[in-house]
Structure 1
């Protein structure tokens, strides 16, 4: 049972990473900030839900260094 859950989890994350790649979240010309990093992470975690209409967008503000 553990093996099945592990395999399903890995497949879920691979599908999410593929969806993020198709949306261009791993391109080199993107700016890296809190918003883009969080959106990419949530897209990967959402997995196959990306292909049924889920389009997660996250907005956040990172603390500025003093």
Structure 2
């Protein structure tokens, strides 16, 4: 039983550290949001503490344009 709760706490701390890293990089400041920005924020949060050992994840994406 305690293994699950310890794992949950570790996961929560991991994601919190990732969110702090994203905030320090200024990812939450922009008002113009696109899929690349949202993706970069998501992978930065998931990377967690790895952001502080040199991991700098970036996401590039393009949204298909509607046909004419």
TM-score, normalising length: structure 2: 0.88
CA distance in 1, matches of 2:23, 2:16: 10
Q: RMSD between aligned alpha carbons?
A: 1.2
Name segments (4+ residues, structure 1) moved above 4 Å.
none
Question: How much has 1:61 moved relative to structure 2?
Answer: 1.3
State the match for 1:57 in structure 2: 58
Aligned residues: 65
Gaps of 5+ in 1: none
Q: Which moved more, 1:12-21 or 1:53-62?
A: 53-62
Q: Note the 1:1-66 alignment, pairs <5 A.
A: 1-27=3-29, 29-65=30-66
Question: How much has 1:31 moved relative to structure 2?
Answer: 1.8
